[in-house]
Every structure is written in structure tokens, then in C-alpha cells.
Structure 1
């Protein structure tokens, strides 16, 4: 079996290379910036696009004429606006599209037990079967393109926005002193903020370009204002109780405090 990865030198590209080799594929890299010969794509059983979000759509268009019928064309972008439609167009040419979003990063050892969003393009059953074959042991979650991007505005874009804003609040502070004084809450938050700030700028920009983020961020600022205005009143108690009651609907909510304390203890050990 032959696989070609466009963007094989990136973090997820390298992860996919090793993963596909483990599955028995002969894996080749392809880079449109190196003027690689696109005719080699027609020899691949699987073509994977692992490039920045804002490049994915153009890459699909530039290679579509070189992909053979029945070839699987998989893309893994974190946002699907514009990309999903390009894949839909390819189905008319006999190409098997696979629109997925692995909910793990390149430091992950295995996809077993990890969530894999599958965004159906033409044949849900066939695409789910292919996804199971390419990512054995992953937890497949089916979601349409619009709902995927809306959810990612909460799962990815909003945390990135919040942590970048928080990082701005730390400028001119004594970071070492803050870290030494930190308890369970700040320790976990500080690690996340440091991690996000050190992500690739283009990735961050792409995530903050999520079409649904503006509405979510406005809701966030309203919530902050409401909490500050309600402080010291009965309304604050009501807001807190309403939030706690809603979040407690999650079946594992009673495990969250222990998870936070365990994470903080691990962080503190790492800092020592």
C-alpha cells in the first residue's frame, strides 16, 4: 500500500508518517513548495493533506487532477469551512474523500482511545469504515461540518483566545514568583497558557479566524461583566448555582476536582 503525505515535515505530518508505516504503508512525502512532481500522487492508494488550515483548500484544488479514481484523499484540518465543500466536489471524480479531525497532537504515542471527529462527505458508512481502518482503536465521533466548527470555537478557539489574553495580563509580572506562589488553579492554568503561547503563530491565527468565535467571545465578555456586576448580591449566588447545576450534568463531574488536584501535583513535582 502506498501513501503520500503532503506536509510530511510538520508535527502531525511526522506523526502520520510513523503511524501509517506501522499500519504497513510505504509512505512518501510531498511538498508543493519544493516543486515535487505531482504525477507521483496517482500511484498512491492514500493521499493525506497535513498542511496549515488556510492552505488546505488550495492544496486540494492543486492536486485533484493528479489523484486516481478510488484513491482515498484525507485531510485533517482543525476547521472545515471551505474545505468540506472542496471534498464534496471531488466525489464526482470518483475520489474517496475522508474529512477528519484528530483530537490529539503530535506528541501522542497512540490514537487508541483518542477522539477522532469524522465529518461525512458523501458516504457516511464507507468513510467511517475507512477511518476505523486508518485509526484503529480511536473513538469515532460523527459530526457535520458546520457543527464541527461551531464546537471547535468552544473547544479550541476560545481557550486559545482566553489564554493569549491571560498571557497579556502576565506581562511585566515576576513569572518565577507567580509560579512559586501558585496553588492548584494557577499552576494548571499557567502550564496551559505557556503551552498555547508557544504554539505556531499561523495555527493560532487560523483558530482565531473561526467564524463562530466572535459570537462566543462576545458571550464570554458578557458573562464576565455579569459576574463582576453581581458580586456581593443574591444574583451572584444564583448565577453560581445555575452554572454548577448545569455542569454537574456531566456524568464525570464529581471526578473533576480530583483530576485538577492530581494535575497540579504532577506539575509541582515537575517544577521541583
Structure 2
């Protein structure tokens, strides 16, 4: 099968190159980062197109793996040149901005998929992970189509609004928390703190450093381009200020009540009772590194 990956020099683009190479597919990539793209094409022996238009010619699967704010433009650019038998798939972390252009392509009779891999490019398993599938026009048909391309994947079907709201909680909020945590801890002697830190600090530091090692442009877009982000951050800061007030005013009863109420909310999670054990399993993995 002829697979084109637009944005093939990016980290997720490279992940998809590896995935489709393992399936024995014929791969073409394009990327504005010409030197990086050239190096990748030579290292893994895939074809490098001069531009996106050339890349989509004769393609059977077209994967758009570009920054969130660039994806609509790329879809517009290639829309008139997509082979009628091809499947166009975009993988952005936010869907509200891209869905208009993708639906225009779908209504022209071209097969389309909007997916969001719920993992990072550091994942080594052959797509045995969870992937969100956001319906473009026909959820049932698109689910069947996605399963033919990614047969081992656990596909989670979710609409645009629900997806982006969930991303404000599962991406924007954790990233925000970790960036702020890193900004405070980074002003201290981190190596000294690591000698004194317990499991909570060790795991939190690993999370924060992982976040801070990522592409800042991507993380900026995840925060700024999601219309639900500000709402979730305001809730977080409001709750943080409430808890801070209990601490500042030395109100143990208020702190304990806040803790108890929050714990009760988390009991809705069926795996809550296993959380403490999971924390130590994570710690053991970190110690092995």
C-alpha cells in the first residue's frame, strides 16, 4: 500500500513511518524541514517528495501529521489533488479547528479519518494503544475503516466537543500543573532535592521533566487553541486558592474537609483503591532507569 506522511520529519510522523514500514508499505514523506526530512528518508529508505502536492499523488493513505494550527491549511492545500480512492487521515490533538476542512474533503467523496493517538511518540509497541476516533461524517463506517488500518488498536469513538473538552482535562491541565511545578522546583537545587524527595516528588519530577522535554510550540497550541482550557484552569486555580486559604489561615478542619470531599469524588474511579500500589510500581520502574 502507498502511504504518504505529511510532516514525516516530526516525532509522530517518524512514529507512523516506523509503523507502516513494519507492515511492508511503500512510504513517501514530505516536510518543510527539508534537511531533517532528507536525513530521515535516507536513514530508513523512504521516498521524500519535494512538496505536499507531489507527496499525495497516487497515495492510498495520506496521513497529515502537522502542528494543530497548520493542519487546516495543509488540508486546504491538498484537497484538490487527493486521489479519489485515497483515505485522508489527520492526527491532531485538538479537533474543532480541523473538522471544517476535513468535512469538506469528506463531502467531495473522499474517505476521511480524524484520529488522536492517546500516547506519545516514545511508545514502542506496534499500535497496541488507545486511539480516539472523532467521526467526520459516518461514525460506523469510519470505525470499520480505521480498524482495517490499525487492527490492533483500541479505538474510542468521541465527538468533537467531548474530545476537546476532555483534552482540556487530560492534556491542558496536567501540562499546566507540571510546567508551573517545574518553574518552582527549577529555581532550587534539584539534585539535592532528589536525595531528599520521596515517591510523590520523584514521580512528579519525572512527569514535569518529561513535559518540559517536549516541543513547546505543540504544548503552547494545546493550551491556547483549546476553547475549554481557560475554563478548566480557572476551576483549578479557584480550588487551589481555596486550599491555600485553609493552609494560610491554619484551618485544619477546612483542609480535612477539602481533602475528604475530593477523595469522595475520586471514589467514582473503579481503580482508585489500586492507586497507591500503582504509584510504587511506577517508582520501581523509575529506579530501574
Q: How does 1:59-74 map to 2 (within 5 A)?
A: 59-74=74-89
Determine the structure 2 residue equivalent to 1:15.
Answer: 15
Determine the structure 2 residue equivalent to 1:217.
Answer: 233
Q: Distance in 1 between matches of 2:188 and 2:257?
A: 34
Q: How does 1:77-96 map to 2 (within 5 A)?
A: 77-96=92-111
Q: Distance in 1 between matches of 2:52 and 2:177?
A: 43
Determine the structure 2 residue equivalent to 1:36.
Answer: 51
1:253 correspondence with 2:268: no
Determine the structure 2 residue equivalent to 1:147.
Answer: 162
Determine the structure 2 residue equivalent to 1:268.
Answer: 287
1:190 maps to which of 205, 209, 213: 205
Determine the structure 2 residue equivalent to 1:6.
Answer: 6
Q: Does structure 1 retain, via aligned residues, the 8 Å contact 2:2–2:60?
A: yes
For residue 88 of structure 2, give the secondary structure of its aligned residue in structure 1.
strand
For residue 66 of structure 1, give the secondary structure of its aligned residue in structure 2.
coil
Q: Distance in 2 between matches of 1:112 and 1:60?
A: 25
TM-score (normalizing by structure 2): 0.89
Deviation at 1:237, TM superposition (A): 2.4
1:164 maps to which of 156, 172, 179: 179
Q: Distance in 2 between matches of 1:106 and 1:252?
A: 26
Q: Does structure 2 retain, via aligned residues, the 8 Å contact 1:111–1:135?
A: no
Gaps of at least 5 residues in structure 2 are 35-49
Residues 113 and 248 of structure 1: is their aligned pair in 2 closer, same or farther, counting only changes over 3 Å? farther
Q: How does 1:190-209 map to 2 (within 5 A)?
A: 190-209=205-224
Q: How does 1:119-158 map to 2 (within 5 A)?
A: 119-158=134-173
| Structure 1 residue runs of 4 or more that deviate by more than 6 Å after TM superposition | none
Residues 214 and 37 of structure 1: is their aligned pair in 2 closer, same or farther, counting only changes over 3 Å? closer
Q: Distance in 2 between matches of 1:23 and 1:269?
A: 32
TM-score (normalizing by structure 1): 0.94
Deviation at 1:23, TM superposition (A): 2.6
Q: Distance in 1 between matches of 2:55 and 2:184?
A: 50
Determine the structure 1 residue equivalent to 2:64.
Answer: 49
For residue 43 of structure 1, give the secondary structure of its aligned residue in structure 2.
coil
Q: Distance in 2 between matches of 1:82 and 1:152?
A: 14
Q: Distance in 2 between matches of 1:196 and 1:37?
A: 30
Higher mean C-alpha displacement, 65-74 vs 186-195: 65-74
Q: Distance in 1 between matches of 2:264 and 2:33?
A: 52
Q: Does structure 2 retain, via aligned residues, the 8 Å contact 1:118–1:140?
A: yes
Determine the structure 2 residue equivalent to 1:239.
Answer: 258
Q: Does structure 1 retain, via aligned residues, the 8 Å contact 2:9–2:33?
A: no
Q: Distance in 2 between matches of 1:83 and 1:40?
A: 20
For residue 54 of structure 1, give the secondary structure of its aligned residue in structure 2.
coil
Q: Does structure 2 retain, via aligned residues, the 8 Å contact 1:132–1:138?
A: yes
